[in-house]
Amino acid sequence: MLNSESFLQKIEYLQPCSADKKYLLAISGGADSMALLNLFSASKFTFQVAHVNYKLRGLESDLDQELVENFCSQNNISLHIYEVSNKDEPPKNSVQTWARKLRYAFFKKIKHQENLEFLVTAHHLNDDLETFFINLSRGSGLKGLSGIPSNKNNILRPFLHFSKQEIYDYCAQNEVPFREDASNKKNDYLRNKIRNEIVPKLLETNEHYLKNFQKSILYLKQNERFIEKQIADIEEQILINEKPDKTIYDREFFAHQEEFVKFEILRKFGFVDIQEIEKIFLAKTGKSFFSERYHLLINRNEIILKQTTEKTEDFSEIIILTEFYKDDKNIVNLKKIISEYSTTSNDIFLEKPWEFDAEKINLPLKLRHWKSGDKFYPAGMFGSKKVSKFFKDEKISLVDKEEIWLLVDGNDDILGIIPYRQDRRFIPEIKTAYYITIK
């Protein structure tokens, strides 16, 4: 039964010391969210409210907004409203997906702006049941079948143990105003079809259907947590290296794992097609695979995963020195310069400074990445060498070599491969008068 006592117990269970936290409530104007708002307003919690008017239902959308505005005004509650306008990109495919992305972007902005810790939504047990069947139809796996998380990514859903009917009963008993969205009665979307046609028939089969479903979801969540722990242990064993922007696995060890384990590890990088995952473990060195956010590369006995959406701008060339001063020390702090352009600067270091004969160099000095046909004259070696051959001899992975910077002059002559080797043509001699130092 939903009441103030059971609600406060649920909040405290989801977030201990709940009274000390600050919340943002997502309020649409429907029975679920208005019940949530009423319960919060009767509590001593510190909270604010956010409402999105999508303008999809004309006057009905405006009346939803008016209801939320009136309640917040009467109860002296801070309210943030976002009204969709022509400046918002219209939905391309799914209106529901578009609306979800828009509102959660708005909620995130308000949370940050107002220094609020948790977003609270009014998802309930019936929503969980609908989501179960949606994910079942999509082959989502155990994670999808485990239901909507009640506390994840600082989003709390305290109503997940309460049915839609319990929420209606609470609204009736406490005279909570709310509005019904008539579009929910239409079967235009899969969720509505499940809600209006399938769920009612299921509930008719057993008066305890929802409570039994709730128990099943609990068992599935427990199984999920146990399996996640086991997979995490396996992942630790196959992991070679992990950085914020790159993860490397032992391909051979990985290949011997169960198909389920492969799927669960790779799915977090966006690889969810079972046939594609099979190809990954059969692919030869140099083969690439792409998800929405990751580039997966096969490199000998390594599976390398690198983020592809990390950089907002591609800097193909960086100018680091334009003038040379004969009466001054010409010292370039390479790491400081690269850090302004690249997230991989923490890997850039020289064991000792590189010195160059300034009179042999044509300015400006620049940094760029390697390209086909590049060659240089490595210090400590005879003759010239292609940069690609140097990478191969040094066993530099296909991903790493794309991140390596070359130091070049105004003629595009290579002065060195950072941080591996200088070009001997520009190293100072006994007669050198003026130096450029790279550190």
The annotation places the binding site at 28-33
Residue 360's alpha-carbon distances to 170, 335, 381, in angstroms, are 83, 24, 20
Name all contacts of 105-110 with Cβ < 8 Å and 24+ positions apart. Answer: 106/50, 106/52, 106/80, 106/82, 107/24, 107/26, 107/50, 110/24, 110/48, 110/50, 110/80
3-state secondary structure of 123: coil
The single residue listed with the structure tokens 């001063």 is 325
Tokens linked to 17: 């010391």
Number of C-alpha atoms within 13 angstroms, CB side, residue 129? 26
3-state secondary structure of 17: coil
Q: Three-class SS string for 150-200?
A: CEECCEECCCCCCCHHHHHHHHHHCCCCCCCCHHHHCCCCHHHHHHHHHHH
| CA distance linking residue 358 with residue 431, whole number of Å | 12
DSSP one-letter string for 300-311: TTEEEEEESSS-
* Number of CB atoms found within 10 A of residue 46's CB: 14
Tokens linked to 414: 């290579």
| CA distance linking residue 160 with residue 125, whole number of Å | 5
Phi, then psi, of 212 in degrees rounded to 5: -70, -40
Name all contacts of 144-147 with Cβ < 8 Å and 24+ positions apart. Answer: 145/220, 146/217, 146/220, 146/221, 146/223, 146/224, 147/217, 147/220, 147/221
Q: Which amino acid is at 28?
A: S
- Which residue ranges are tagged as binding site for ATP? 28-33
Beta strands in 196-315 (DSSP E): 239-243, 246-250, 288-290, 294-299, 302-307
Report whether 29 contacts 67 (CB < 8 A).
yes
